[in-house]
Structure 1
Amino acid sequence: MSHIFNIRFSSKVILFWTLLFGWGLLSFASDKDKDKDNELGYSVKDPKLKLPLEKLYSHGHHALYFENLGVKCNDCHNFSIKSDSGPLAPLVNIRALKSNKKTCHECHLGQISIPRRNQCSLCHDDIAVLMPKDHKINWKNRHGVKAQFDGDACKQCHQQNECSACHMRRDNMNPRVHRGNFRYMHSIEARATPASCVSCHQSQSFCNDCHIGKRN
């Protein structure tokens, strides 16, 4: 009797492990099929398509397909102002970005190897809309005090060499461009590098105040 029981028990054990092994093979095959679909890198915008596998995604293979669907870059790459993915994320608003899809490709197709900070024009048509509110009122005279008390805020967009471009030394922060004989030489320098003047003197009438007799 015990011999018959042992045979039946052994048969059940063998059947159990056989079913378990078979189920494992089916699951593995199913996962492989999913991986195969994921390798195609399709978007979830179309219900027929699978969730993309990030590192295997090919923009080139699917650009025309997505264009026909009306899917844009920012449908997948979200630059929402509510994003918290990085320290500058709260400053970036999708509504201020260029609408042309070539903007993405300027970097991603290798035309620009490493975009530098403060190169706002790479992605934005109107840089004025990005300027912080406290930069718009008498900022030329107030920015030094702000930088001394909250330098980290400046570093989010600006680098140290931007300060050095205008200032001689960090102790007294005298303007580097205004040398002792600046009154006689400034016209030459203004013709050679007008952009250096405009970085501080932005009023259109600033030059005319002297050159048409308003200042003596």
Structure 2
Amino acid sequence: MKNKILYIGIFSLAAIFLAVTAFSRETEEEKKTNKDILIFSHALHVEMDIDCESCHTIMEDTPTLSDIRLPLMDTCADCHDVEDEELCTTCHYDEVYETYPERTYELYFDHSSHMEQDVSCVDCHKGLDKIDYGFESEETHPSMESCFTCHNDISVASNTCESCHISTVDLIPQSHKTADFFENHKFAADMGNQECAVCHDNNFCEDCHTATVMITETNTASDFYTPYSPHKYVDNTNQQQITRVHDLNFRFTHGIDAKAKRDQCATCHQPETFCVECHSSEGGDFALGGVVPYSHTLNDFLTIGVGTGGGEHAILAKRDIESCAGCHDTQGGDPTCILCHIDTDGIKGTNPKTHANSFMMDAEGDWHSDDGSLCFNCHVNTRTAGIGFCGYCHSSN
């Protein structure tokens, strides 16, 4: 009986050993990269001014990612002497003569169609001048955010998931699969580097976070409810409890977050309608009166007139203009800044100073060719040397 148990034990250990060995071997093979097969440097080839098409010669004929897009030895032979066996170790490791590892892909992608649209290689594959192998940097393969530059569902290409993803059955981030993600997603969103908007628009968030519509400061922590819910939760309740984003005293402390720009208030709140309930003058002009930051109440906050220096507001604006733009925009919602900072007469030095001395004097700015340049929010585009904004630099002679 003892011998039988001993044999069973030995057999079991042997079976476990073989299984682990086989799994390890399979794992090692799966992890094998081009770096294990060939000696290569993208950086060196970029330094030698060799363009991408010299090596990747078949990109115009590769409608899928499964096609082999890496150069074969015949292509390398255009520059390398592949007949000299003493030079094999320039690219090959000793006794390692294998083909490229096979890869599986979960995306549809057609290089040829992108090349037809004049998309260059470096538009998507960046940083190759700093690395040897393509997998060594995340920049070398485009992120979904960069794809959305063109795939915006507006004029260039569709941004539906099915346009690029072969399967959408389980197409959610790994973090979303945890049991408590619904309760704790706010921590991920607050990190700042999470691209929630890649998949979710504001309407999705407003299913729960309807702070600008249904929540008032008189609510308590236990009665944040919407009257109906488009979603069914695990308890199948028809009434959805709203997750509080801010503490109940946030009305009195929100200025700290708003000033530090930690949170993008405008993601949920429309400043022209939400903020004006407190921050408005009697006439209704946003940010021209009402509750204002303490700095705005100082006697020297604003000095008017050319040569006065502008007072404290000029110092604060130079220090952090984005903070000013949180209330004072330049798109017409609040005209505060352009009441003074505007070039109506086209004569240099007759209006309050906005830029530092010699600002953009050495730059070939977009105002030369783009009639929609940001500069023309304040400056008059005359397109005539010696007159108006153009006359600042170009004399009539």
Which structure has more helix as a fraction of its residues? Answer: 1
For normalisation by structure 2, the TM-score amounts to 0.20
For normalisation by structure 1, the TM-score amounts to 0.32
